[in-house]
Amino acid sequence: MQPEQDQPRRSEVFNWVQRIGPARSLFLALFSLSLLLLGCYTLTERRIIGRRPATDEVQPPEVSVDHMVRVRLLGSKPRAAIELEVTGPFEISSEAPQPIQQELPRLPVCTARVAPSGGINLGGAHYPNDDLLISPMRDASIVVEGKTYRGLLRIHSDSGGLFVTNHVDIESYLRGVLRGELPSRFHDEAFKAQCVAARTYVLYQKRNRSADSTFDVYDSERSQMYIGVLGEDERAVGAVAETRGQICVWRDQGEDKLFCTYYSSTCGGRSQHVNHFKPNDPDVPPLRGNVECKDCYLAKFYRWKPVKLSKTEVTRRIVANYPSIARLGTIVGLRPKELTVDGRIVRIHLDGSTGQNETLVGEDFRLSVGGRVLKSTNFVIEAGPDFFLFRDGRGYGHGVGLCQHGMETKARRGMGYKAILARYYPTSRIKTLYN
Ligand SMILES: [Zn+2]
Determine the residue type at 382: E
pTM over 0.85: no
Residue 35 pLDDT class (50, 70, 90 cuts): very low
Which residues fall within 8 angstroms of residue 305, CB to CB, at 6 or more apart?
Answer: 393
Residue 231 pLDDT class (50, 70, 90 cuts): very high
Per-residue pLDDT reduced to its tens digit, 300-314:
999 999 999 999 999
Residues in the chain: 435
Cα-to-centroid distance, 427 and ligand 1 (Å): 18
Pairwise CA distance, residues 34 & 41, whole Å: 11
Beta pairing, strands 263-264 & 402-403: parallel
Cα-to-centroid distance, 287 and ligand 1 (Å): 14
Cα-to-centroid distance, 238 and ligand 1 (Å): 25
Residue 63 pLDDT class (50, 70, 90 cuts): low
Pairwise CA distance, residues 282 & 302, whole Å: 28
Helix axes 404-412, 188-208, angle to 10 degrees: 140
Residue in 338, 303, 332, 299 with CA at minimum distance from that of residue 315 = 332
Determine the residue type at 428: S
Distances in whole angstroms, Cα of residue 220 to Cα of each of 10, 181, 199, 263 = 60, 10, 15, 14
Report whether pLDDT(78) > 50: yes
Cα-to-centroid distance, 409 and ligand 1 (Å): 9
In this prediction, residue 66 carries a pLDDT of 83
Strands (E), 266-370: 303-304, 307-310, 331-339, 345-352, 357-361
179: left (phi over 0), alpha (psi -120 to 50) or beta: alpha
Cα-to-centroid distance, 130 and ligand 1 (Å): 46
Report whether pLDDT(34) > 50: no
Cα-to-centroid distance, 204 and ligand 1 (Å): 23
What are the counts of helices (DSSP H) followed by strands (DSSP E) for the chain? 9, 28
Cα-to-centroid distance, 410 and ligand 1 (Å): 10
Cα-to-centroid distance, 423 and ligand 1 (Å): 11
Cα-to-centroid distance, 235 and ligand 1 (Å): 23
Report whether pLDDT(52) > 80: no
Cα-to-centroid distance, 272 and ligand 1 (Å): 11
Cα-to-centroid distance, 299 and ligand 1 (Å): 9
Number of Cβ within 10 Å of residue 428's Cβ equals: 26
Per-residue pLDDT reduced to its tens digit, 233-243:
999 999 999 99
Per-residue pLDDT reduced to its tens digit, 92-144:
999 877 899 999 999 999 999 999 988 999 988 999 999 999 999 988 999 99
Beta pairing, strands 217-218 & 68-73: parallel
Cα-to-centroid distance, 348 and ligand 1 (Å): 23
Cα-to-centroid distance, 407 and ligand 1 (Å): 8
Beta pairing, strands 357-361 & 345-352: antiparallel
Per-residue pLDDT reduced to its tens digit, 239-257:
999 999 999 999 999 999 9
Which residues fall within 8 angstroms of residue 58, CB to CB, at 6 or more apart?
Answer: 4, 5
Cα-to-centroid distance, 294 and ligand 1 (Å): 6
Residue in 68, 430, 406 with CA at minimum distance from that of residue 261 = 430
Cα-to-centroid distance, 262 and ligand 1 (Å): 13
Q: Which residues are found with C-beta within 5 Å of the ion, ligand 1? A: 267, 293, 296, 403, 406
Peptide bond into 426 cis (omega under 30): no
Domain ranges of the chain: 68-170, 172-262+401-432, 303-394
Pairwise CA distance, residues 166 & 133, whole Å: 10
Element (H, E) at 72: strand 68-73
pLDDT > 90: percent of the chain? 78
Cα-to-centroid distance, 14 and ligand 1 (Å): 64
3-state helix, strand, coil in the chain (%, to 5): 30, 30, 40
- Find the Cα–Cα–Cα–Cα dihedral 361, 362, 363, 366, rounded to 10°: 130
